[in-house]
Amino acid sequence: MTSHMSPEEFRKHGYAVVDWVARYLETVEDLPVLPSVEPGAIAAMVPDHAPEQPEDFQALLDDLDRVVMPGVTNWQSPNWFAYFPANASPPAILAELAAAGLGQQGMLWSTSPATTEIEMQVLDWLVGLMGLPDGWRNASGLGGGVIQMSASDATHAVLVVARHRRRHEASVEDMVVYVSDQAHSSIEKGVTVAGIGHCRKVPVDDAFAMDVDALESMIAADEERGLLPIAVVSAIGTTATTAVDPVAAIGRVAHRWDLWHHVDAAYAGTAMICEEFRIHQPDLSQADSYTFNPHKWMMVNFDCNVLWVSDRQPLIDTMSIVPPYLRNDASDTGAVIDYRDWHVPLGRRFRALKLWWVLRSYGAEGIREVVREHVRLAAEMADRLRADDRFELFAPHPFGLVCFTHRDGIERTRELAAAINASGKAAVTPSQIDDTWFIRVSIGQTTTGQRHVDALWGLIDQLA
């Protein structure tokens, strides 16, 4: 007995699911932001064996409330101030549904021309919107952009390219990659996964930005030792404090020493759609690659990462292996992009649809408005903290993240973060650099507005 859903049933259940999601988004603001389940509690509600007989779809839907909801962390709550945002929006969610319905497999141009060409065009739109070098457009035929699952994947991929590019000069164990000691852990992970011998952590200045003189001394010392420096990664917006590395100066060092220069703007890249934030993004025409996550702050639900390279050829040379079953006439002409050659996975889904729908639904101006409001709210929160003797700002706040400590010390700071999170009314992230603990307030969920930030301030005031 098979139990395919009929088109009528699909339509009926589809409406019910969309209705369920709409209600979730309407009411998420009133739910506790963080779950309070013990480990194993959700698994205990799921049977140990798959059912032999088909279940009614209504039972599946009911279990969203019964089984799933108790263990959900409400990242889409406007009271979400933890980590960075992983925001979303109705057009993105609907595009995800449409993409699933189409079930495209865009590994080659020929396996889904629309998946490839819409991705090419939308990423070219973003080059213009974010003030990136023209040569990074897919239409340039030189550089280009590609959607990947995560910034970690993008960074890993370019580190493999950097390694491949210098493969005849040294063994991988003798190759070196440089990052600041504030860089995201994904870079060190990428270095490890790529088998590269060394990941050097360059010290930072008082604003947590990379010390370029230290970088250059470390490169020189490594060369002296007989090692091969191959890449440097600079950050526009580090994870802990959104510090901005001196990207232009790092670029000059990279050029002098023939290093691949990768720019990680995973979170802050979205802000570059507003011209005023490009004071943090210098002319990048010398950079080799750049990554940012629309799935953090651009209202495109996870997953959607963008990687641009200034020259696509080294990437393709590194990643392309053509077995006979993937050969086709379109690829043989060389006139199309086969995105399977731009990252590790072969298969790829139609992620560009949600980016396209978000850009068209909001328009660039609509996205700028959201970003500017988040940054304004962050600046206002910083002003409140600055004006209150109990608190001290811990780092500059160029974007939507504010970091602060309680003046009574580490314990008080950690207790305050724990009390905010235990309240269920908001979520923040306690973090640490060296011996100092601080609280990160990240303002960037799609629907976060004045009243949510006012409420958070009320909570901080009351619990401090």
Interface with ligand PLP by CB under 6 A: which residues? 84, 150-152, 184, 186, 235, 237-239, 264, 266-267, 293, 305
Closest distance between ligand PLP and the C-beta of residue 189, in Å? 9
The dihedrals phi and psi of 448, each to the nearest 5 degrees, come to: -65, 130
| Residue among 108 and 151 whose Cβ is closer to ligand PLP | 151
CB of 302 to ligand PLP, least distance (A): 8
Question: Which CB atom, from 427 or from 460, has the smaller least distance to ligand PLP?
Answer: 427
Nearer to ligand PLP, 401 or 417 (CB): 401
CA distance 278 to 245: 13
Q: How far is the CB of 38 from ligand PLP (least distance, A)?
A: 26
Q: Which is nearer to ligand PLP, 111 or 186 (CB)?
A: 186
> Among residues 73 and 328, whose Cβ is nearest to ligand PLP?
73
Closest to ligand PLP by CB, 305 vs 331, is: 305
Cβ of residue 113: shortest distance to ligand PLP, in angstroms? 27
Q: How far is the CB of 77 from ligand PLP (least distance, A)?
A: 18
C-alpha 459: how far from its chain's center?
Answer: 28
Encoding tokens for residue 166? Answer: 């210098």
Q: Are 151 and 264 in contact (CB under 8 A)?
A: yes
In the complex, least distance from residue 361 CB atom to ligand PLP, rounded to whole angstroms: 23
Residue in this structure with the two tokens 């779950």, named with its chain if needed? 35
Phi, psi of 201 (to 5 degrees): -100, 110
- In whole angstroms, how close is the CB of 369 to ligand PLP at the nearest point? 23
Nearer to ligand PLP, 331 or 442 (CB): 442
Please name every residue paired with 289 in a beta bridge, in sequence order, or none if there are none: 262, 309
